[in-house]
Amino acid sequence: MNCQAQGKILVAAASDLKFALDSVIAVFKKKDAGTVEVTYGSSGKLFEQISNSAPFDMFFSADVEYPKLLKEKKLTLSDAYIYGVGRIVIWSKKIDPSKEGMKSLLDPSVKKVAIANPAHAPYGKRAEEALLHYKFMEAVKPKLVFGENISQAAQFVTTGAADIGIVAYSLALSPNMLKENGKYFLIPENAHKRLEQTVVITQHAKGNALAQTFLTFVKSDDAKKVLAHYGFK
Partner 1 sequence: MLDFEPFYLSLKLALATTVILFIVGIPLAYFLAFNRSRWNVLLEALVGLPLVLPPSVLGFYLLLAFSPQNVVGKFLDDFFDVRLVFTFPGLVIASVIYSLPFMIQPVQSGFSMVPRSLVETAYTLGKNKFTVLTRVLLPNMKAALITGCVLSFAHTIGEFGIVLMVGGNIPHETRVISVVIYDEVEAMNYRHAGVYSSILLIFSFLVLVSVYLVNRRALKVHYQS
Q: In this structure, are strands 164-168 and 113-116 parallel, antiparallel, or unpaired?
A: parallel
In whole angstroms, what separates CA 99 from the centre of its chain?
26
Q: Which residues pair with 197 in a beta bridge?
A: 84
CB of 137 to partner 1, least distance (A): 26
Nearer to partner 1 (CB atom), residue 23 or residue 151: 151
| Cβ–Cβ < 8 Å for 64, 70 | no
Choose between 149 and 208: whose C-beta lies nearer to partner 1.
Answer: 149
How would you classify the pairing of strands 81-86 and 195-201? antiparallel
Which CB sits closer to partner 1, 155 or 198?
A: 155
User: Least distance to partner 1 from the beta carbon of 174, Å?
Assistant: 8
**Minimum distance from CB of 48 to partner 1 (Å)?**
10
Q: How far is the CB of 175 from partner 1 (least distance, A)?
A: 9
Q: Which residues bind partner 1 (CB under 8 A)?
A: 10, 15, 18-19, 37, 39-41, 49, 52-55, 148-149, 151-152, 154-155, 158, 174, 176-177, 180
Q: Which is nearer to partner 1, 154 or 195 (CB)?
A: 154
Q: What's the rounded Cα separation, in Å, for the pair 134 and 24?
A: 35
> CA-CA distance, 163 to 90, in Å (whole number)?
11
- Choice between 53 and 109, CB closer to partner 1: 53
Name the residue nearer to partner 1 (CB basis): 15 or 117.
15
Report the nearest approach of partner 1 to the CB of residue 1 (Å): 9
Q: 214: Cβ–Cβ under 8 A, 6 or more apart, which residues?
A: 9, 11, 28, 32, 34, 36, 58
In the bound complex, what is the minimum distance in angstroms from residue 204's beta carbon to partner 1?
11
Asked if residues 64 and 198 have their Cβ atoms less than 8 Å apart, the reply is yes
Residues 6+ apart with CB under 8 A from 151: 15, 16, 18, 40, 171
